[in-house]
Amino acid sequence: MPHTGTVTKPAPAPQHEELPSKHDRRFGLPIATTLVMGNIIGGGIFLLPASVAPFGTISLVAFGVLTVGAIALALVFGRLAHRHPQTGGPYVYAREAFGDFAGFLASWSYWITTWVSNAALAVAAVGYLDVLLPIHGSTFWTIVAALTVQWLPALANLAGTRYVGAVQLVSTVLKFAPLLLVAVGGLFFFHADNLGPFRASGDSSLGAVSASAAILLFSYLGVESASVSAGEVRDPERNVGRATVVGTGLAALLYLLCTLAVFGTVAHDRLVDSSAPFSDAVNAMFGGTWGGTAVAIAALVSMLGALNGWTLLSAQTPYAAAKDGLFPAVFTKKKRGTPTAGVLVAVTLASLLTVYNYTAGSAGVFETLVLVTTFTATVPYLLATAAQIYFLLSGQGHRVSGPRLARDLVLALAAFGFSLWLVGGAGYAAVYQGVLFLFIGVLVYAWMAARKKRTAADATD
């Protein structure tokens, strides 16, 4: 039964929740913006040019379409966060519009996205670490490296939100130096002959755009970062929307410039087979072979920053749901501004998945799970945009600005359509696996709802 009023206020804060301390500090607009940018720009940007090169320069069209969709989604999240500045983002919006079950599905799906993404980022980071410290010959040391990459950001989160913001700001600034070097400097070494054919795969234009977009989808996850952590953002009604739009726009611009620069500095036939396109681009620009090391360092910094932000999100989403009795109460435990149980559970699950990936040699299964994150992320996107459409069409004028009604509705419909496109791009296997994850969540919801009802019944006796 959809809610027609405001969200039912949660019970008083549990006694285990601490008062704000010196470690608990709200984010301002700059850090909230870097949180969005850092979560969108992980390690994928260092592989994207080579991944989409087989489709030709038509893949830049897919970049453009994805960017428009991501900006529309960011604007919708900004509008929603203005009226609902609570921690939880899509969970809060879905629950307010459609009730507990929709809120739970949004929270559950997003939670899966966060910790599986962390495992994927850690495995990718080890690939770049191998350039600096060759460890590929030892499964043991590879696992140790991957777990270390995951647990360092987790420890930063456990130290308090004050340190999360500091790590996020530093890592974002450091990783942008080499990216800007390629994005801007590469344009001075640009040669049109390197671009290759506009459509290289032999597919139709629509097919080539859709196929290349499917590869790029994972790279745009993170537009919701500021809204999920809205409770930790200073002046969220104003700053969440700005951080979301500015962070998404800057990340998209950097994506486009970097890809275009690599396309124009590395010959197409070489780029298609490249395992380190940014290294090849730097080598082509300045000569020598030092580019591989520089890019490896930049990639590690980039992915550590992304892991830092995603670890925070992996704890914030179940925290918000647990406060409303839709996740186990252990997720409400907070220390130094960070939901400690959420961080520990997420990093443990990601660690187990990482160990399984290396010991079972299941690269194909792991790649499927990475695509699952694209699908699971679209579930809260769809629910959040549907919630905005519901608010606009249900006559709840206090939730939206009257003069902006038509514009907000167009944006919400565009964002909803973009989210559906993401589902299609994830592929049949990913959707199949993702639905199984959702059904497991339905069982968890049944258990939590039963406990909640029994507790309410006992309280009235």
Q: Is 242 exposed, middle or buried (CB count within 10 Å of its CB: 0-12, 13-18, 19+)?
A: middle
Whole-number pLDDT of residue 386: 93
Sequence-distant (6+) residues with CB within 8 A of 126 are: 135, 142, 145, 146, 149
Q: What is the pLDDT of residues 351-362, one digit of tens each?
A: 988 888 777 765
**Helix, strand or coil for residue 234?**
coil
The neighbouring-strand residues paired with 339 are 334
- The CA–CA distances, whole Å, from 188 to 185, 197, 378 equal 6, 21, 38
CA distance 61 to 390: 31
Q: What is the pLDDT of residues 70-97, one digit of tens each?
A: 888 888 887 887 777 766 678 888 988 8
Q: Dihedral sign for Cα 29, 34, 35, 37, please.
A: positive
Average pLDDT, stretch 55-62?
86
Average pLDDT, stretch 244-259?
82
* Nearest alpha-carbon partner for 243 in 31, 25, 87, 26: 31
Best mean pLDDT range from 4-8, 48-52, 328-332, 421-425 = 328-332
pLDDT confidence band for 165 (50 / 70 / 90): low
Residue that wins the pLDDT comparison between 279 and 225: 279
Q: Is 453 exposed, middle or buried (CB count within 10 Å of its CB: 0-12, 13-18, 19+)?
A: exposed
pLDDT confidence band for 164 (50 / 70 / 90): low
Count, residues in the chain = 461
Whole-number pLDDT of residue 348: 93
The answer to whether the CB of 89 falls within 8 A of the CB of 321 is no
Whole-number pLDDT of residue 4: 35
Whole-number pLDDT of residue 401: 55
Q: What is the pLDDT of residues 92-149, one digit of tens each?
A: 889 888 998 998 998 899 888 888 888 888 877 787 787 777 776 677 888 888 899 8
The answer to which of 6-20, 67-81, 228-242, 331-345 has the lowest mean pLDDT is 6-20
Q: How many CB atoms lie within 10 A of CB 202?
A: 10
For residue 33, pLDDT beyond 80: no
For residue 31, pLDDT beyond 80: no
- The CA–CA distances, whole Å, from 169 to 29, 38, 91 equal 11, 9, 26
CA distance 14 to 459: 17
Average pLDDT, stretch 231-259?
76
